[in-house]
């Protein structure tokens, strides 16, 4: 199985800060990587697909980059409504695997 | 409009078999390339992928759970069923069904059900 290592596990930032989350795959997954946002008590919501494509309706302050084994998810200007846990997920090979999540909080 | 809804028992006893049903609308699992998956999340923990079934009735399972899982579909009812045998307290989790965008599972999860919390306790 492909292991997805996500970091940090949590972070605290101020409104307006740039926030960066990284995800590393245990083997080359090309660009077969998605990012999801999950708010407490809710199902995850797709933010970025294929490593760098913004899902329809998602604000442009969210972005993703990377390919191969190293990926980055960025919030360019953190907003209060962005408080959530974010997960990466690879779909290059079944079984799919998720990262351990990054909890984003407001400082 | 695509919707998915999970149903099943909220409480199961250890060693019992769990059966969950995903009832969906807005798409058909008889459409070439379409897939539905199950994912779970223990309280306060990360997401864990469980199983996937595609339009052609191909089935894929989590490596660690494949001996306990069975996924099936009823295309006429727009339902996907997941069974998990020999339930244990560590299987306590919210179970989600979800649709995959993209042909034959090569794409993101674009729609999720609301999830159903299953507690394993005697």
* Contacts of residue A11, Cβ cutoff 8 Å, sequence gap at least 6: A19, A21, A102, A103, A104, A105
| Whether the Cβ atoms of residue A7 and residue A21 lie closer than 8 Å to each other | yes
B9 contacts chain A (CB < 8 A): no
* Residues of B with Cβ-Cβ distance to A103 under 8 angstroms: none
Side-chain half-sphere of A7: how many Cα atoms within 13 Å? 4
B108 contacts chain A (CB < 8 A): yes
Closest by alpha carbon to A35, among A79, A74, A8, A93? A74
B103 contacts chain A (CB < 8 A): no
pLDDT of residue A76: 98
Mean pLDDT of chain A, nearest integer:
97
Cross-chain residue pair B47–A98, CB shorter than 8 Å = yes
pLDDT of residue B106: 85
* Residues of A with Cβ-Cβ distance to B116 under 8 angstroms: none
* Dihedral angle sign, alpha carbons of residues B77, A95, B87, B99: negative
Q: Pick the more confident residue, B102 or A43.
A: A43
Side-chain half-sphere of A75: how many Cα atoms within 13 Å? 29
Instruction: Classify burial at B77, counting beta carbons within 10 Å of its beta carbon; exposed 0-12, middle 13-18, buried 19 or more.
Output: exposed
Average of per-residue pLDDT across A46-68: 98
pLDDT averaged over 10-residue windows placed end to end, chain B, 122 residues: 98 98 97 96 98 96 97 97 98 98 88 98 96
- Residue A21 pLDDT class (50, 70, 90 cuts): very high
* Residues of B with Cβ-Cβ distance to A91 under 8 angstroms: 105-108
């Amino acid at each position: 199985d492909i292991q997805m290592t996500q970091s940090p596990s949590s972070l605290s930032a101020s409104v307006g800060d740039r926030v960066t989350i990284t995800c590393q795959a245990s083997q080359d997954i090309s660009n077969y990587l998605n990012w999801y946002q999950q708010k407490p008590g809710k199902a995850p919501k797709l933010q970025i697909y294929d490593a760098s494509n913004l899902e329809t309706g998602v604000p442009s302050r969210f972005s993703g980059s990377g390919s191969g084994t190293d990926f980055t998810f960025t919030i360019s200007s953190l907003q209060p409504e962005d408080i959530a846990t974010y997960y990466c997920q690879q779909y290059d090979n079944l079984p799919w695997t998720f990262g351990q999540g990054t909890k984003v909080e407001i400082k | 409009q695509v919707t998915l809804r999970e149903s099943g028992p909220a409480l199961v006893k250890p060693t019992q078999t769990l059966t969950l049903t995903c009832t969906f609308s807005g798409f058909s699992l008889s459409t070439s390339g379409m897939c539905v998956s199950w994912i779970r999340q223990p309280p306060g923990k990360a997401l864990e992928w469980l199983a996937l079934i595609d339009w052609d009735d191909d089935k894929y399972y989590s490596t660690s759970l494949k001996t306990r899982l069975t996924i099936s579909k009823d295309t006429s009812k727009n339902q996907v069923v997941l069974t998990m045998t020999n339930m244990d307290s560590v299987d306590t989790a919210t179970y989600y069904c979800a649709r995959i965008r993209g042909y034959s599972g090569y794409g993101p999860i674009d729609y999720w059900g609301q999830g159903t919390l299953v507690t394993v306790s005697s």
